[in-house]
């Protein structure tokens, strides 16, 4: 089955140049969605996997080239052991099932986050999926796994400090591009739009450097309920905003 198959309703969409190039999503509310229905929390995670595919399909329809999903933070290790085991198993199964889809549809998979702490079998499958999809040039799916933005910045500082100590980098030459090239997201453009589900009004240690000028869009819907029309609504809202990047709105002057 082809991944890129459905066409969005053009009449309700802004022109392509007004749409985001990169969307990042904080997928929140899986457990609460399940508990509200009298189901185990793991059922919310299972249902949330369906929303991942919907988000990917919708982004491809809209011409959005990058999608970053906050799958598992390094704070999530505090959760109960059975839930953690289920999440790792779900991640493993997803990567195994979707590897062929990635290659067939020209989707490049990237993973950001620390590798330490992830089960070896998950790392093996994750690395394999990244490798076989590396030539994808139609769409990039970036999964933040065992990720924390503060930790990412710490790792970047360590990398830069090491280069300086080795004499490979002049400390006086360090600038924003130096930091950007040391981050996990090197080579990926900063998100234009950040979506958070489940109504929470916080960033939760997600891409703090990269989203300095991103537009934020929050919905009360939990992630398992987030669908195609919700993403389209976010894109339409994004297109109506005036992104000045610290400058002056010359239209209104």
* Strands 107-112 and 215-218, sheet pairing: unpaired
Question: Is 168 a known active-site residue?
Answer: no
Number of H helices, E strands in the chain: 7, 6
Which stretch of DSSP H or E encloses residue 193? Answer: strand 193-196
Q: Which of 28, 146, 192, 230 is catalytic?
A: 28
Q: b vs e for 90-123, b when ≥16 Cβ sit within 10 Å of the residue's Cβ?
A: bbbebbeebbeebbebbbbbbbbbeeeebeeebe
Work out the number of other CB atoms within 10 angstroms of the CB of residue 187: 9
The Cα 233–Cα 193 span in angstroms is 12
Question: Is 76 a known active-site residue?
Answer: yes
Q: Which of 30, 50, 76, 170 is catalytic?
A: 76
The residues assigned a catalytic role are 28, 76
């Amino acid at each position: 089955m082809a991944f890129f198959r459905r066409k969005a309703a053009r009449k309700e969409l802004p022109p392509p140049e007004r749409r985001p190039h990169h969307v990042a999503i904080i997928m929140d509310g899986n457990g609460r969605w399940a508990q509200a229905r009298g189901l185990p929390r793991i059922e919310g995670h299972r249902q949330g996997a369906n929303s991942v595919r919907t988000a990917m399909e919708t982004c491809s329809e809209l011409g959005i080239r990058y999608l970053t999903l906050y799958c598992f933070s390094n704070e999530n290790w505090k959760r109960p052991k059975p839930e953690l085991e289920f999440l790792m198993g779900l991640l493993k199964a997803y990567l195994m099932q979707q590897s062929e889809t990635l290659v067939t549809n020209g989707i490049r998979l990237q993973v950001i986050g620390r590798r330490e702490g992830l089960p070896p079998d998950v790392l093996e499958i994750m690395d394999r999926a990244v490798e076989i999809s590396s030539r994808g040039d139609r769409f990039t799916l970036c999964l933040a796994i065992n990720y924390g933005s503060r930790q990412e910045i710490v790792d970047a500082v360590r990398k830069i400090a090491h280069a300086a100590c080795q004499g490979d980098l002049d400390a006086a030459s360090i600038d924003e591009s130096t930091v950007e090239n040391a981050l996990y997201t090197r080579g990926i453009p900063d998100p234009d739009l950040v979506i958070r589900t489940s109504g929470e009004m916080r960033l939760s240690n997600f891409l703090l450097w990269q989203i300095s000028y991103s537009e934020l869009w929050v919905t009360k819907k939990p992630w398992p309920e987030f669908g195609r029309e919700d993403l389209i609504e976010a894109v339409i809202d994004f297109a109506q905003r005036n992104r000045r990047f610290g400058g002056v709105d010359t239209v209104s002057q």
